[in-house]
Structure 1
């Protein structure tokens, strides 16, 4: 298996090491108790409070000695922690935090991160503070400031808004693409795709929460997700389409060079593979962008509908018909004179007067006796039965997609190229092939559109990608996945390496006659000429 997601694992572990080393060093020390900090939470909060003070002083380029830090701890303790400490004890606490916890008593500190590329642990040096000797009023003093590791650790504790984080990754991706650092650009676009997918899943969870109980979903949650969606979707699709055009141009440059020189160098091959990977993930990212748009409007619609239902429920006044009407009329029969006050609202709305002629012509079953009705068996359908039936229909639909793809590839394989008009001539002669190739207009159209969107399918790349990704059993139609499954099931197609599809602009549109749509209607439809090729 290929574990691409474990690339640069040692770099990830360095970021984890920032926190792990400081917590490990703090937990092992018992000196905290004599200063009244018995809880781990208190200890860790104080450490990072001190580090933030040092960062502030570093950014302002101001002096930060032990005395300055002691004064800060004294003020913080009086305002918030309320520990009964003298100034000398606070000074001792400052020296303990700085010298023992953060600086590890001057010893060099290492964290081991496993490198899956080499298969060994690498020692990663982590240092939070740097010291400098300065002269203050003729006295030599030590001042502290943050190292790069210290800045990275503290800046990493502040969460950035998701849409801003995606924008930052997109800028980094664009920079790596411009510098032709394709391996880094491939990692960047994978991260962007993952963030898009996570956002879709978050919106699906929010929709489920609203359906379960809209009162548990606050206005701030709704405002945050919708504003984030609008900021994310603004020009994002066009950006990634432009990136895809750039990537396609560079792929064509490599392919043109390969045709002319017959062989690429090892580095050029790696760049070509990375570019093809980037193109695939750009296509996936654009698809996820569309899913975000769809989920955005679905979330708005469901939230508005559920709030409206709740508001309607709040104005409905419920009462007991027996106690409020029946019993009172029995107690005083004269009150029945005003019964129209109660009945009038029932006739306020106009009842739709629709005559269904089908019901009149329908065979009328005789009314059974009560005894026979008691013998009838009651069928109950659980949610599980409904889900199973829904899943069954989705699987049947996926099989129809695969059958369409199989027929196209089998016919392309005969001459390595094929026009859609060739298939049209075939289905005119063979009704069985027609039913398999076009089970419904909608299924056939979706397959052709997906081929035209992808344009080129590299079978070997898809197989490698599938090895490194876990199959999630998705029920939606995915062209790449369906093509791989068709080729694996049909051994005659096993030697196909690449599939190309494009519109034949020099050809006239063709008419496909007498095909069925999903409503069961038989119609003719006009279709653009499409060209298929394999090698």
Structure 2
């Protein structure tokens, strides 16, 4: 892959930037704004976009938007919201100034120079926000009507942030469309945008976790609910789609590589397509990894938020306050508040100090107060690395046995019921099975996350993959390896495919008296999950 491939179609990106740059350039240098009560650049931009939205509203309704309508609107807005009283003539002049001088640039064409890295030169991009046409009113009077161009629509619509899950769906739809048309160059840009969207979602979760740790009460329930909804929709709705895309890309790469090996004439275009497909494959792998990361962060945030709110509810008698906002930020604004800081620290030094530390005593030679009854013996400290390694391996095997017991219990209950939920597992297991299902809260949580992340597990596909590739065993828990190991047991061999899905009933499963990694007994709850299997 070329090091500057990410700069392809750079001029298209700069076209979006140019819309705002040209508008700002046309507006900021005009001194006529002050005659209409507009003093700052912020006010200029707010008024211009207010006007653009007004014109867009008329354009969408396919109604005439003459200068009289615009002037009346500008006059009402200036008086009602900005406290600027303008008569009709002033409103008309103000409207004409914004429409003709700024948005229309006095009738002159507007251009923005965007650099094209593929051709190594600047390209002139024409920018045009509004256009006009001649219309005849009911009275037969001839007027000029204004409407938004495509550039104007794109700029105004881009200012409204759409929901994250809708953005992801749109990018995925474009990605699929470009794959179907074999336009792999554009598909590379699409998958990069998708990965960037997922990385942005992951960063939002990290910021939320940090905010909750600082002060859970400053993070509203509405914000938490919206973020949780975005997380679930991001992972559940798109993971399976991207897994299928990954399979499709692998097949296409195989076709191109086979053609490259066997065909004498492998064109430059086909070579570019193969390189683009490999780039798409790498980003799809990173996208699926990002899905799993978001899911893990989702559970971390959920656990942290529950714990913090529970801690606050248990400490209702303790008055707490955010030190950063109530103390630190206040002092930074007014440093004179530190004038009496000594009164805060004085109580720390009122008490009588019992002992005084003498640094000179540190440097004196230390003598024994009492002679030892036995002669000094040479003490040899030996670290038995081999014994330590054996002990460490033993601990790892014991932990892996717990993972295996948890997964095995789920499979046994799945064979018994064919379809079950976490609620069924919680209430339907006997004591022995329940203890194997929940050896510790952390192990059970990790197993559930792995199952939910996988979504659908094809046992036969895993076994074929194990046959085709020689893989080293992992030191930690890997769900696929554990399942393959358990499938050697005859009682599990009828399972061909396992399907895992969230139960959308809004309920939670409550597990009580479960031991954690530190030996404490705890109660916890988690969202309900369903399991179903298909026979071979």
- Correspondence 1:272-287 to 2 at 5 A: 272-287=274-289
Matched, 1:20 2:21: yes
- Correspondence 1:184-263 to 2 at 5 A: 184-263=186-265
- Correspondence 1:281-430 to 2 at 5 A: 281-315=283-317
Matched, 1:167 2:169: yes
Distance, in Å, in 2 between the alignment partners of 1:218 and 1:504 is 48
Structure with more relative contact order (C-alpha pairs < 8 Å, separation 6 or more) = 1
8 Å contact kept, 2:198–2:291: yes
Distance 1:104 1:371, change over 3 A: closer
What is the number of residues matched between the two proteins? 355
Distance, in Å, in 1 between the alignment partners of 2:79 and 2:179 is 53
In the other structure, the counterpart of 1:455 is none
Distance 1:516 1:191, change over 3 A: closer
Distance, in Å, in 2 between the alignment partners of 1:244 and 1:517 is 26
Distance 1:440 1:18, change over 3 A: farther
8 Å contact kept, 2:55–2:65: yes
Distance, in Å, in 1 between the alignment partners of 2:100 and 2:113 is 23
Distance, in Å, in 1 between the alignment partners of 2:109 and 2:55 is 20
* Secondary structure at 2:144 match in 1: strand
Distance, in Å, in 2 between the alignment partners of 1:510 and 1:38 is 69
8 Å contact kept, 2:211–2:218: yes
Pick aligned residue for 2:142 from 117, 140, 143: 140
* Secondary structure at 2:467 match in 1: coil
Structure 1 range deviating more: 255-264 or 300-309: 255-264
5+ residue gaps, structure 1, are 319-369, 378-430, 446-500, 519-524, 530-535
Distance, in Å, in 1 between the alignment partners of 2:167 and 2:187 is 16
TM-score with structure 2 setting the length: 0.60
Distance, in Å, in 2 between the alignment partners of 1:516 and 1:47 is 61
8 Å contact kept, 1:511–1:527: no
Distance 1:186 1:121, change over 3 A: same
In the other structure, the counterpart of 2:157 is 155
8 Å contact kept, 2:75–2:85: no
* Secondary structure at 2:316 match in 1: helix
5+ residue gaps, structure 2, are 321-355, 364-385, 401-462, 478-483, 489-536
In the other structure, the counterpart of 1:77 is 78
In the other structure, the counterpart of 1:453 is none
Matched, 1:38 2:47: no
In the other structure, the counterpart of 2:7 is 6
In the other structure, the counterpart of 1:180 is 182
Distance 1:91 1:294, change over 3 A: same
* Secondary structure at 1:315 match in 2: coil
In the other structure, the counterpart of 1:475 is none
Distance, in Å, in 1 between the alignment partners of 2:64 and 2:134 is 11
Matched, 1:130 2:131: yes
Distance, in Å, in 2 between the alignment partners of 1:45 and 1:36 is 13
8 Å contact kept, 2:79–2:86: no
Matched, 1:107 2:108: yes
1:506 positional shift: 8.1
For residues 172-202 of structure 1, the C-alpha deviation after alignment (integer angstroms, 9 at most, x for no partner) is 0000000000011111111111211221122
1:84 positional shift: 2.2
1:511 positional shift: 12
In the other structure, the counterpart of 1:321 is none
8 Å contact kept, 1:440–1:516: no
